[in-house]
Structure 1
Amino acid sequence: MAATLRNLKIKTSTCKRIVKELHSYEKEVERESAKTADMKAKGADPYDLKQQENVLAESRMMIPDCHKRLEAALTDLKGTLVEIEEELNQKEGPEFEEAQKVITEVEQVLQSTEA
Protein backbone atom coordinates (compact mmCIF):
# COMPACT_ATOMS: atom_id res chain seq x y z
CA MET A 1 0.00 0.00 0.00
CA ALA A 2 2.72 2.49 0.94
CA ALA A 3 4.45 1.91 -2.39
CA THR A 4 1.40 2.97 -4.39
CA LEU A 5 0.94 6.11 -2.34
CA ARG A 6 4.64 6.69 -2.78
CA ASN A 7 4.15 6.30 -6.55
CA LEU A 8 1.39 8.87 -6.40
CA LYS A 9 3.69 11.31 -4.59
CA ILE A 10 6.47 10.73 -7.14
CA LYS A 11 4.15 11.28 -10.09
CA THR A 12 2.71 14.39 -8.45
CA SER A 13 6.25 15.75 -8.00
CA THR A 14 7.10 14.93 -11.61
CA CYS A 15 4.16 17.03 -12.82
CA LYS A 16 5.17 19.93 -10.57
CA ARG A 17 8.76 19.78 -11.82
CA ILE A 18 7.74 19.79 -15.49
CA VAL A 19 5.39 22.75 -14.89
CA LYS A 20 8.33 24.67 -13.37
CA GLU A 21 10.49 23.67 -16.33
CA LEU A 22 7.83 24.82 -18.82
CA HIS A 23 7.53 28.19 -17.07
CA SER A 24 11.29 28.66 -17.11
CA TYR A 25 11.41 27.93 -20.86
CA GLU A 26 8.59 30.40 -21.45
CA LYS A 27 10.51 33.05 -19.48
CA GLU A 28 13.66 32.21 -21.42
CA VAL A 29 11.81 32.68 -24.72
CA GLU A 30 10.53 36.06 -23.50
CA ARG A 31 14.07 37.10 -22.51
CA GLU A 32 15.62 35.90 -25.76
CA SER A 33 12.83 37.51 -27.83
CA ALA A 34 13.45 40.83 -26.11
CA LYS A 35 17.19 40.48 -26.65
CA THR A 36 16.66 39.64 -30.34
CA ALA A 37 14.33 42.61 -30.83
CA ASP A 38 16.80 44.86 -29.04
CA MET A 39 19.67 43.65 -31.26
CA LYS A 40 17.59 44.26 -34.40
CA ALA A 41 16.65 47.74 -33.19
CA LYS A 42 20.30 48.58 -32.55
CA GLY A 43 21.36 47.25 -35.95
CA ALA A 44 23.53 44.46 -34.56
CA ASP A 45 26.05 42.59 -36.68
CA PRO A 46 24.14 40.12 -38.95
CA TYR A 47 26.24 37.18 -37.72
CA ASP A 48 25.55 38.00 -34.05
CA LEU A 49 21.87 38.48 -34.84
CA LYS A 50 21.73 35.10 -36.60
CA GLN A 51 23.36 33.45 -33.56
CA GLN A 52 20.81 35.12 -31.28
CA GLU A 53 17.94 33.98 -33.52
CA ASN A 54 19.28 30.42 -33.26
CA VAL A 55 19.32 30.68 -29.46
CA LEU A 56 15.73 31.93 -29.56
CA ALA A 57 14.66 29.11 -31.91
CA GLU A 58 16.24 26.50 -29.62
CA SER A 59 14.44 27.95 -26.61
CA ARG A 60 11.15 27.88 -28.50
CA MET A 61 11.70 24.23 -29.48
CA MET A 62 11.93 23.23 -25.81
CA ILE A 63 8.35 24.34 -25.09
CA PRO A 64 6.47 21.77 -27.25
CA ASP A 65 8.78 19.04 -25.91
CA CYS A 66 8.06 20.10 -22.35
CA HIS A 67 4.37 20.28 -23.19
CA LYS A 68 4.38 16.67 -24.45
CA ARG A 69 6.20 15.45 -21.35
CA LEU A 70 3.73 17.32 -19.14
CA GLU A 71 0.76 15.75 -20.93
CA ALA A 72 2.31 12.29 -20.50
CA ALA A 73 3.08 12.93 -16.82
CA LEU A 74 -0.49 14.16 -16.27
CA THR A 75 -1.96 11.04 -17.90
CA ASP A 76 0.34 8.92 -15.76
CA LEU A 77 -0.67 10.74 -12.57
CA LYS A 78 -4.40 10.42 -13.35
CA GLY A 79 -3.95 6.71 -14.09
CA THR A 80 -2.15 6.12 -10.80
CA LEU A 81 -4.83 8.02 -8.93
CA VAL A 82 -7.57 5.84 -10.48
CA GLU A 83 -5.60 2.64 -9.74
CA ILE A 84 -5.19 3.56 -6.09
CA GLU A 85 -8.84 4.50 -5.78
CA GLU A 86 -9.86 1.14 -7.25
CA GLU A 87 -7.26 -1.12 -5.61
CA LEU A 88 -7.08 0.46 -2.19
CA ASN A 89 -10.56 1.88 -2.22
CA GLN A 90 -8.98 5.04 -0.89
CA LYS A 91 -9.90 8.50 -2.10
CA GLU A 92 -8.62 10.80 0.59
CA GLY A 93 -5.53 11.84 2.43
CA PRO A 94 -2.78 14.38 1.82
CA GLU A 95 -1.40 12.52 -1.22
CA PHE A 96 -4.82 12.59 -2.90
CA GLU A 97 -5.46 16.23 -2.15
CA GLU A 98 -2.03 17.17 -3.47
CA ALA A 99 -2.48 15.03 -6.60
CA GLN A 100 -5.92 16.54 -7.31
CA LYS A 101 -4.56 20.05 -6.82
CA VAL A 102 -1.66 19.37 -9.18
CA ILE A 103 -3.95 17.80 -11.80
CA THR A 104 -6.10 20.94 -11.78
CA GLU A 105 -3.04 23.21 -12.02
CA VAL A 106 -1.49 21.17 -14.84
CA GLU A 107 -4.74 21.17 -16.82
CA GLN A 108 -4.92 24.96 -16.53
CA VAL A 109 -1.28 25.29 -17.60
CA LEU A 110 -1.83 23.02 -20.60
CA GLN A 111 -4.92 24.98 -21.66
CA SER A 112 -3.15 28.31 -21.36
CA THR A 113 -0.09 27.17 -23.33
CA GLU A 114 -1.98 25.47 -26.17
CA ALA A 115 -2.88 28.82 -27.73
Structure 2
Amino acid sequence: MIAYKTETKQQEERIERLKAEAGDEFVIKKQMEVLQESKMMILDSHRRLAVAHGVLLQLLEAEVELSETEEYKEAKNMLDSVKLEA
Protein backbone atom coordinates (compact mmCIF):
# COMPACT_ATOMS: atom_id res chain seq x y z
CA MET A 1 0.00 0.00 0.00
CA ILE A 2 2.93 2.31 0.67
CA ALA A 3 4.07 1.87 -2.93
CA TYR A 4 0.64 2.97 -4.18
CA LYS A 5 0.72 6.02 -1.90
CA THR A 6 4.17 6.93 -3.20
CA GLU A 7 3.02 6.42 -6.79
CA THR A 8 -0.05 8.59 -6.16
CA LYS A 9 2.07 11.42 -4.78
CA GLN A 10 4.46 11.22 -7.73
CA GLN A 11 1.54 11.16 -10.16
CA GLU A 12 0.00 14.24 -8.53
CA GLU A 13 3.32 16.05 -8.85
CA ARG A 14 3.63 14.98 -12.51
CA ILE A 15 0.14 16.33 -13.26
CA GLU A 16 0.87 19.63 -11.53
CA ARG A 17 4.09 19.96 -13.53
CA LEU A 18 2.24 19.25 -16.79
CA LYS A 19 -0.40 21.83 -15.92
CA ALA A 20 2.23 24.42 -14.99
CA GLU A 21 4.01 23.82 -18.29
CA ALA A 22 0.70 24.10 -20.16
CA GLY A 23 1.05 20.51 -21.30
CA ASP A 24 -1.13 18.69 -23.79
CA GLU A 25 -4.68 18.33 -22.42
CA PHE A 26 -4.93 14.75 -23.69
CA VAL A 27 -1.76 13.77 -21.80
CA ILE A 28 -3.01 15.51 -18.66
CA LYS A 29 -6.35 13.70 -18.95
CA LYS A 30 -4.60 10.32 -19.31
CA GLN A 31 -2.35 11.09 -16.34
CA MET A 32 -5.46 11.95 -14.30
CA GLU A 33 -6.85 8.52 -15.19
CA VAL A 34 -3.62 6.89 -13.98
CA LEU A 35 -3.90 8.89 -10.74
CA GLN A 36 -7.47 7.69 -10.18
CA GLU A 37 -6.39 4.08 -10.73
CA SER A 38 -3.64 4.49 -8.12
CA LYS A 39 -6.12 5.93 -5.64
CA MET A 40 -8.48 3.00 -6.28
CA MET A 41 -5.62 0.57 -5.62
CA ILE A 42 -4.98 2.22 -2.24
CA LEU A 43 -8.61 1.73 -1.28
CA ASP A 44 -8.64 -1.86 -2.53
CA SER A 45 -5.41 -2.71 -0.72
CA HIS A 46 -6.75 -1.22 2.50
CA ARG A 47 -9.98 -3.19 2.16
CA ARG A 48 -8.09 -6.46 1.59
CA LEU A 49 -5.78 -5.74 4.53
CA ALA A 50 -8.75 -5.07 6.81
CA VAL A 51 -10.38 -8.35 5.74
CA ALA A 52 -7.16 -10.33 6.33
CA HIS A 53 -6.71 -8.61 9.70
CA GLY A 54 -10.23 -9.62 10.72
CA VAL A 55 -9.77 -13.22 9.56
CA LEU A 56 -6.51 -13.57 11.49
CA LEU A 57 -8.07 -12.03 14.59
CA GLN A 58 -10.98 -14.50 14.44
CA LEU A 59 -8.61 -17.41 13.91
CA LEU A 60 -6.49 -16.47 16.91
CA GLU A 61 -9.57 -16.04 19.09
CA ALA A 62 -10.87 -19.47 18.00
CA GLU A 63 -7.55 -21.27 18.54
CA VAL A 64 -6.57 -20.06 22.02
CA GLU A 65 -5.43 -23.58 22.94
CA LEU A 66 -2.52 -23.08 20.53
CA SER A 67 -1.37 -19.92 22.30
CA GLU A 68 1.94 -21.46 23.39
CA THR A 69 3.05 -22.38 19.86
CA GLU A 70 5.57 -20.25 17.98
CA GLU A 71 3.21 -19.82 15.03
CA TYR A 72 0.45 -18.50 17.28
CA LYS A 73 2.80 -16.08 19.02
CA GLU A 74 4.17 -14.87 15.69
CA ALA A 75 0.66 -14.35 14.30
CA LYS A 76 -0.38 -12.50 17.48
CA ASN A 77 2.68 -10.24 17.29
CA MET A 78 2.00 -9.54 13.62
CA LEU A 79 -1.63 -8.74 14.34
CA ASP A 80 -0.68 -6.44 17.22
CA SER A 81 1.87 -4.60 15.07
CA VAL A 82 -0.61 -3.71 12.33
CA LYS A 83 -2.47 -0.43 12.76
CA LEU A 84 -5.29 -0.07 10.27
CA GLU A 85 -5.86 3.48 9.11
CA ALA A 86 -9.39 4.72 8.74
* Pairwise same-fold verdict (TM > 0.5): yes
Bigger RCO (CA 8 Å, 6+ sep): 1
In the TM superposition, residue 73 of structure 1 has moved relative to its aligned partner by: 0.3
Please say if 1:70 is aligned against 2:46.
no
Q: Counterparts of 1:49 and 1:67 in 2: how far apart (Å)?
A: 27
Percent sequence identity over aligned pairs: 31
Unaligned stretches of 5+ residues in structure 1: 1-21
In the TM superposition, residue 104 of structure 1 has moved relative to its aligned partner by: 2.3
State how many pairs are aligned.
86
Please say if 1:102 is aligned against 2:81.
no
Please say if 1:49 is aligned against 2:25.
no
CA RMSD of aligned residues (A): 1.4
> What whole-Å deviation, never above 9, does each CA across 1:78-114 have from its counterpart, x for those lacking one?
11111221xxx121333223212221232x2x22xx2
Unaligned stretches of 5+ residues in structure 2: none
Structure 1 residue ranges (4+ consecutive) displaced by more than 2 angstroms after TM superposition: none
- Normalized per residue, the structure richer in helix is 1
Q: How does 1:1-115 map to 2 (within 5 A)?
A: 22-85=1-64, 89-106=65-82, 108=83, 110-111=84-85, 114=86
For the residue of structure 2 that corresponds to 1:65, the secondary structure is helix
